[in-house]
Structure 1
């Protein structure tokens, strides 16, 4: 039995959740998110509490996933999501201008990345990048794409990493 799927979701006063067919729309102080949900899972809302139920035991996985997705949508429109990245390496720097992030990370050319809609990119210093938005999935995906430009390597530790990420260092060649 999916334990996540059985948990109820408490909806804050500032948030409205509406269902239209298979689409669920969440409106809050930071914005609005819409997502299409699986029709096999039933959605019930009463007195500021949302419950999901399934009719078939084979739908355990999608049951928990749908509940988690809706909880993330509510969290996003209330508080938003934020990912922080650090650039480690000599000469590595980032500049954000007009929601376009320009990375100089040791390639012969600068790498430019346009932020998706609903995501803001800022740089507090030349080596710190902050990504903010209301959709957890979009913020996380864009952060992963930035990290993939130059992922951290284990020998010198150079690369782009999450602010709270720990890179395990390896010992180099011993030589003769």
Structure 2
């Protein structure tokens, strides 16, 4: 990679890594360390082909999705680390409702299977149409629809307090939050 391409890559990483990390955190079920690994690997792959990439963000997001799919297709599964209490982030009282909602959603997403979580993130947080999700996951549109239906039903079971949420505007910001044991 020449100097000019390196500068463009660095600028891309500085400008878009926060948004890409939010997606990676959602895809990994709230596990920030796994999300950072996911993003790091995606950026490494993108760096190797940087001179051939027309739309870098779309390319990196595609790598994120495919890497997550590869992870949940593996037979070997890692156990997720659960903590008894959420970390003290020093947020004000005004932010407590949004923070609690964010923790509820993250916790519920973390308890879904990786496939269910991936479908919901692509459909509702990335706002992709069913056909695009099917293309990314390498399955039929019907599979995306049925997985979405079952995933939402499971999400409602895991977090009944989300039943009142009906619009995307009411969802909190899903900025990565580090959870330590």
Q: Normalising TM by the smaller chain, what interval? A: under 0.3
More strand, by proportion: 1
Q: TM-score, normalised by structure 2?
A: 0.23
**Which of the pair has the greater relative contact order for Cα pairs under 8 Å at 6+ separation?**
2
Q: Over alpha carbons, which structure has the higher Rg?
A: 1
